[in-house]
Amino acid sequence: MSLAEIVPLMKPGQLGRNIAVGVGYFITIPFWLPLLPFIVFALVWRDTGGFATSLSSIPGISEGAA
């Protein structure tokens, strides 16, 4: 399994596209990374995609969200 099959938006065999996606990630990640705790809070609070249920083993998080 190659890295291009794991990373979202990358496609195996498309070097130019994968370089552009990598540069895009390198530029954008520092901007949204400080927001990660708030994003996780919102996902757990609304139980988006069963996120709260999958994290219910952590103390303070119940199944089915708030």
Is residue 52 packed enough to be buried (19+ CB in 10 Å), middle (13-18) or exposed (0-12)? buried
Residue 63 lies in a domain: no
The confidence score (pLDDT) of residue 66 equals 56
Residue 65 lies in a domain: no
Residue 37 lies in a domain: yes
Residue 40 lies in a domain: yes
> How many angstroms separate the CA atoms of 25 and 38, rounded?
20
Mean pLDDT throughout 26-47? Answer: 89
Q: Which residues contact 52 (CB under 8 A, 6 or more apart)?
A: 43, 44, 45, 61, 62, 63, 64, 65
Whole-model pTM: value is 0.53
The confidence score (pLDDT) of residue 62 equals 80
The confidence score (pLDDT) of residue 65 equals 59
Domain span at 15: 3-54
Residue 12 lies in a domain: yes
Q: State how many domains the chain has.
A: 1
